[in-house]
Structures are given as structure tokens and as C-alpha cells.
């Protein structure tokens, strides 16, 4: 029985938006049903619908008197898939329409074929004439209104740039395992494989490719010579600045990219302990360590409750990659826009505060803690650290930028092609008693 890619895309986006499921969970399960280029097309359709959801919904509302509800609801998402194809992909319009109409049969709604065909044909005819004036910001920028308001307050001169950056497809970043090759040596290998790069971060040596490639085309990937990791995330190991003999803790470590980078970056560490609250997520950490031929203590543990896993030995360095809104990585995970709610932010800041306080107690005097999030919201970042400094007499903020007034380092989406990220480095001052 043949598989209809549009039907799978409708099921996937329906599962995310109406059922609140993660795109990272829904998409791979459905991609297993297709092969070759169809995997890429399915991903393009799902990501595209989620990136442009408000404008696609607006178009459907203009073309239908009554929305599809109940058992027909999945076909509403089929309409979104169809309109996205017509507006944003190279799929010929006739093929986009015919395949989308045929998908109604796969979704057990053959009686809706005429409706779907009519809506898509009308969209083709009317799309050039649709009035785009007086649309709300949520439709213009394809983000939820609450998030737009937060950005307008936090970044009055940059909020539009952030929203536009979130709509772009992110670059593929590489992290070279420099115990095997220098960055320049690996660039030569990329050139030999006819893989071109567009940017190299001077501090970390992170490489951004001009175009994403299959990981198996990357020289030495299977042997652990290179990893996939965004340029912003690659700053962590350098900012943590571990020294030989250090005892290191990586909190909320899954999927393990930063754990591995710490081990790659510094030789002769006493130990690296990677904890995460979910056993299943720690499997990814273990897989990454094994591919890179690295070793760490991998433990199930709640960073907010160290008594359940901590052995009582203080750490020289702690990386706290705190649970956060993920608002800096929307371009990689467009479902964040629709799964995250305004009410989540207050809950997250309370959790971050609890974890930060708990892990601080595990740090040696003279040690450093690097606080990190993939968020761009001040409540989770600058304001979080400001409050911690007020309430923690033995915490001293170490500068990360050339501006002495900066509270940490806020990277915004697409700064040097990187994801949105935040870092603050804290020194635990030694007692003067």
C-alpha cells in the first residue's frame, strides 16, 4: 500500500498542534514509513506548516465558511499542508493540489476531496489578490502574540529581526574533535569531500556549512572525528575553561553534546559527571560518548535535588544547562512557538532558580559555574542571574563580553549564524574567615 506524504504531514502537524506532542517525537515515527527523498519532503512540509501556521490558518479562514472539526479535523491540517506547498515549495501547483486531494482518502475522508480541491483551487486564484493590510502581528510574523509582546518589551530595536531570524532554516554546524584533527586539517577533508563552509567561529573553531549534508558524508563522522552542534552551544566548553585535574559536573546534560565537548577540550580531567532527570535521554549521552570514544560518569539525577545522587565531593567546574523555554532555538524547533505557553515562563524561572541554588552548593570555593540557556527571554537569563547575585553573597559575576555592564552574554538568533543562547559565568569566592 503506497504512502501519501501529504497525509503523513497532516497527521504530524495535527499531533503537534491539537495533541500537544513534540515534533521531535512525531516526525521520526512517521518518517520511518517513507524512504529516500520522501523523508526530506515530509520534513519540509511539517516544518513549513509549523513555521507559517498563523498565515496558513488565516488563508484557510478566508476560504472556508465553516472550519473542519471533530473527526474531520486532521483534514484541516491537510489544507494547511496544501497551501504551504503552493506558496513556499517548488512542487508544481497541479501536483501539490492532486496529491493533497488524494491524501484525503488515506485520512479516511474521501467525502472531503471536493472541499479540499475547491479550497486549494480558490487559493491558487485568489492568493495574489489577498489583502495583506491590517493583519495582526501574529499573522505577519508567524509567532504567538504573547511572545511577540515579550520581545517588543525586551528588544525594542531588534524584535522584528529576531522574529524573521526564527523563520529561517538554520545552518548545519560542525564541532571538530581536535584530538584527531585541527580545524584547518578538517577543513581540508571537507574540501576533498566537496563540502563547503560559510563561516568559522574564531573562538571555538565551530564550522558552519553552506548547506546541510547527510552526516555519513562528513569525513570521519562514524569514527568520532566530528559532531553536529550549533556554534552557540559550542561556546560552553571554552567559557567553562576546565583545567587538568578538575572535577566537573554537567547538569541537565542530555543529549550530551556539551559533555563530550568538555572532554574533548581538556585533557586529564579528574572526572566528568553528566546527570539528567530522564533515563531515556541519558541513552543519547551514552551513545555520543561511545561514538567519540570518551568516558564520563552518566547518572540519572535531578539537579534540583542533589541529595538523591551526589556523592558529597565538591566540583571545580559546573555547567548548568538549565531547563528553559527554548525560545532561542525556534528556527530548529518551530513547534516551540505553539507548545510553549506564556504561563510556562514563570514556572520555568522558579525551576531554574531552584536548580541554580542547589547546584551552587556543590561547587568548591574558588570554583566556577557556567549558567546556560537556549532562551532569549530576560526573565530566564539576565534577570535570573541578577537576582541570584543579590541573594548569594559568595557569587561573583565574571565578564564574558567587552562591555563591563553586561550581565552575562546574550546571543540572539542568527548572531553570526548561531542559535539564540545565554551564558553567565559565576565564581564562588573563597571564604575570608
Cα 6 to Cα 102: distance, rounded to the nearest angstrom: 9
- The DSSP call for residue 335 is T
CB 120 within 8 A of CB 82: yes
Q: Give the count of beta carbons closer than 10 Å to the beta carbon of residue 254.
A: 23
How far apart, in whole angstroms, are the C-alpha atoms of residue 53 and residue 80? 8
Please tell me the distance from the alpha carbon of residue 317 to that of residue 239, in angstroms, as a whole number: 11
Q: Say how far apart CA 67 and CA 59 lie, in whole Å.
A: 12
Run of H or E residues at 54 = helix 53-63
Specify the residue for cell string 501539490.
Answer: 96
Q: Collapse the DSSP code of 171 into the 3-class scheme (helix H, G, I; strand E, B; otherwise coil) and give the result.
A: coil
Q: Which residues of 168-197 are buried (b: 16+ CB within 10 A; e: fewer)?
A: eebbbbbbbbeebbebeebbebbeeeebeb
Q: Which residues contact 98 (CB under 8 A, 6 or more apart)?
A: none
User: Is residue 374 flagged as an active site residue?
Assistant: yes
Which residues are the active-site residues?
A: 374
Amino acid at each position: 500500500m503506497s504512502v501519501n506524504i501529504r497525509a503523513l504531514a497532516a497527521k504530524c502537524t495535527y499531533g503537534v498542534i491539537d495533541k500537544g506532542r513534540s515534533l521531535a517525537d512525531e516526525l521520526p515515527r512517521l518518517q520511518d514509513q517513507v524512504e529516500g527523498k520522501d523523508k526530506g519532503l515530509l520534513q519540509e512540509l511539517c516544518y513549513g506548516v509549523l513555521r507559517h501556521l498563523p498565515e496558513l490558518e488565516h488563508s484557510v479562514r478566508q476560504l472556508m465558511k465553516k472550519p473542519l472539526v471533530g473527526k474531520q479535523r486532521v483534514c484541516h491540517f491537510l489544507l494547511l499542508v496544501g497551501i504551504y506547498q503552493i506558496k513556499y515549495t517548488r512542487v508544481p501547483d497541479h501536483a501539490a493540489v492532486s496529491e493533497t486531494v488524494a491524501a484525503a482518502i488515506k485520512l479516511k475522508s474521501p467525502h472531503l476531496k471536493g472541499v479540499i480541491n475547491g479550497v486549494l483551487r480558490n487559493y491558487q486564484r485568489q492568493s495574489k489578490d489577498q489583502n495583506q493590510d491590517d493583519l495582526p502581528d501574529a499573522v505577519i510574523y508567524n509567532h504567538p502574540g504573547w511572545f511577540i509582546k515579550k520581545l517588543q518589551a525586551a528588544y525594542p530595536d531588534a524584535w522584528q529581526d529576531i522574529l524573521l531570524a526564527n523563520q529561517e532554516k538554520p545552518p548545519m554546524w560542525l564541532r571538530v574533535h581536535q584530538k584527531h584533527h585541527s580545524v584547518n586539517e578538517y577543513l581540508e577533508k571537507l574540501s576533498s569531500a566537496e563540502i563547503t563552509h560559510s563561516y568559522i567561529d574564531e573562538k571555538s573553531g565551530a564550522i558552519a556549512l553552506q548547506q546541510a549534508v547527510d552526516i555519513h558524508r562528513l569525513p570521519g563522522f562514524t569514527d568520532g572525528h566530528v559532531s553536529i552542534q550549533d556554534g552557540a552551544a559550542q561556546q560552553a566548553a571554552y567559557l567553562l575553561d576546565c583545567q587538568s585535574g578538575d572535577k566537573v559536573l554537567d547538569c541537565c546534560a542530555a543529549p550530551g553534546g556539551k559533555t563530550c565537548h568538555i572532554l574533548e577540550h581538556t585533557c586529564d580531567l579528574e572526572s566528568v559527571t553528566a546527570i539528567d532527570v530522564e533515563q531515556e535521554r541519558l541513552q543519547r549521552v551514552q551513545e555520543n560518548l561511545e561514538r567519540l570514544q570518551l568516558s564520563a560518569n552518566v547518572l540519572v539525577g535531578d539537579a534540583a535535588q542533589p541529595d538523591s545522587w551526589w556523592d558529597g565531593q565538591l566540583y571545580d567546574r559546573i555547567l548548568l544547562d538549565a531547563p528553559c523555554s527554548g525560545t532561542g532555538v525556534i528556527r530548529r524547533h518551530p513547534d516551540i512557538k505553539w507548545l510553549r505557553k506564556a504561563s510556562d515562563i514563570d514556572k520555568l524561572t522558579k525551576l531554574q532558580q531552584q536548580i541554580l541554588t542547589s547546584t551552587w552548593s556543590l561547587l568548591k570555593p574558588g570554583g566556577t559555574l557556567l549558567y546556560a540557556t537556549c532562551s532569549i527571554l530576560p526573565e530566564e537569563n539576565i534577570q535570573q542571574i541578577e537576582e541570584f547575585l543579590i541573594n548569594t553573597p559568595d557569587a561573583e559575576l565574571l565578564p564574558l563580553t567587552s562591555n563591563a555592564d553586561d550581565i552575562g552574554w546574550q546571543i540572539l538568533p542568527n548572531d553570526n549564524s548561531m542559535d539564540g543562547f545565554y551564558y553567565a559565568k559565576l565564581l564562588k569566592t573563597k571564604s575570608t574567615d
